[in-house]
Amino acid sequence: PNYTSVSNLSNLLNVRIEKLVRDLTRLGFSDVSHNYILSREYIELILQEYNYEIDDRVSTLTWENVYAELKSAVNPKNLERRPPIVTIMGHVDHGKTTILDYLRKTAVVAQESGGITQHIGAFQIETPVSGRKITFLDTPGHSAFLKMRQRGATITDIVVLVVSAEDSLMPQTLEAIKHVRASGNELIIAITKIDKISKRERDKAIDRVNNDLLSHDISIEKVGGDVQVIPISARTGENMDLLEESIVVLSDLMDLKAENATNTVAEGFILESEVKKTVGNTATVLITKGTLQKGKVFVCGNTYCKVRSLCDEGGRAKLKALPAEPVEVLGWKELPQTGDEVIQVKSEALAKKYVAKRQALVQSEKHAGDVKKINEQRCSEA
Ligand code: GDP
Ligand code: MG
């Protein structure tokens, strides 16, 4: 940065703020307070005083780099297969919610719990045919989705694009296609509501959707491409098993893997968060690496969490969550933000240190912005 606050600098240098203020006073600064803003030339002067390499210390200390410090390298030997993470997209009323409801319902029956669905922003099913796991993201997850995409990160592996057999492609279908292309996700097409079309008319309706897809350069299997097209009914359940197995087949081709050892530094992100009256701050976390377990400590943006408990969508308590297994987590100091990265640290003390560092960074960026604004004003007045 070209500007930073005294408190931020003390954090960056790992020097007690009282000492820094004393040194600054000795260097000739007067009335130095914690939020005193230092310009770059003064920062450089001070860094020389503390024998620091200038650019290394100051310009590389963004929050992303602070996070990067915490992460561990991927160990290829520990990679294990993980379930695919799937988002359902498509035009309004083409059947997204109905598919998710169908999957949820069958998943609950399979687990024989009969428990009340809590409806967190994601859930995992086991497919009835191959018994494999699939993680589905619900619509509330979409804001996390968008926020992460701004950072160039992607949550989803596979997009299931729903297209109503009655309407074929519509404006939001085309939007979704654009999105899939931009994000590099894999695509499966589900032609929905086939139960609403008489047996005699079905082939014609399916052909129409296929042709419309082709005219938008989707290389469907029918013409030797790799995009599977599955006609389904989420109302009757027809071909839903086929859709689930198509996802499994595609995920195998994608060779989705993650480290899931307990001692791997765990990483993930926040799908959604909420303050609940009875339990306080809660967040749905999707781990992408390592495991999430009770007692582990995670930093996330301006807050951290010593995991007090975790449970699945049905509210069942869990001991640990593996990669791609969404869980609701309790134990957050402050409410974490949707889309933010979650990284495990060794101790609560360390988490506190990083949160302080982060807050100082945010503050100094804000101060720098303020100083810039004041300077610009001065310039334009002059
Ligand atoms: P969304 O806007 O994409 O979430 O669409 P919904 O899932 O809310 O579906 C819109 C309407 O279509 C609802 O009235 C559903 O009951 C109905 N619907 C969705 N899928 C099917 C299907 O496969 N068969 C039939 N008959 N109706 C469907
Ligand atoms: Mg809906």
Complex ipTM tops 0.85 = yes
Residue-level pLDDT at 374: 56
Cα–Cα distance for residue pair 233/96, rounded to 1 Å? 11
Cα–Cα distance for residue pair 289/295, rounded to 1 Å? 17
Ligand 1 center from residue 96 Cα (angstroms): 7
164 lines ligand 1 (CB under 6 A): no
Ligand 2 center from residue 247 Cα (angstroms): 21
Q: Which of 93, 105, 191, 236 is the best mutation target for the ligand 1 pocket, counting ligand atoms within 8 Å of the beta carbon and taking the most? A: 93
Select from 271, 246, 269 the least CA-distant residue to 132.
Answer: 246
Q: Which atom of ligand 1 is nearest to the CA of 233?
A: 23
pTM: 0.80
Ordered per-residue pLDDT tens for the chain, 382 residues: 556 778 777 877 778 888 888 888 887 777 777 777 777 777 777 777 776 554 444 444 455 656 677 788 888 888 999 999 999 999 999 999 999 999 988 876 555 444 445 677 899 999 999 999 999 998 655 666 677 766 666 788 999 999 999 999 999 999 999 988 888 889 999 999 999 999 999 999 999 999 999 999 999 999 999 999 999 999 999 999 999 999 999 999 999 999 999 999 999 999 999 999 989 999 999 999 999 999 999 999 889 999 999 999 888 899 999 999 999 999 999 999 888 889 999 999 999 988 887 777 666 666 555 555 555 655 565 5
Q: Name the DSSP letter for residue 2.
A: -
Cα–Cα distance for residue pair 285/273, rounded to 1 Å? 9
192 lines ligand 1 (CB under 6 A): yes
Q: Which of 98, 164, 191 is the best mutation target for the ligand 1 pocket, counting ligand atoms within 8 Å of the beta carbon and taking the most? A: 98
Cα–Cα distance for residue pair 133/144, rounded to 1 Å? 22
Ligand 1 center from residue 86 Cα (angstroms): 19
Q: Whose CA is nearest to atom 27 of ligand 1?
A: 193
Ligand 1 center from residue 233 Cα (angstroms): 9
| Per-position DSSP letters for 75-117, written without gaps between them | -GGGEEE---EEEEEESTTSSHHHHHHHHHHHHHHHTT--PPP
97 lines ligand 1 (CB under 6 A): yes
Residue-level pLDDT at 348: 95
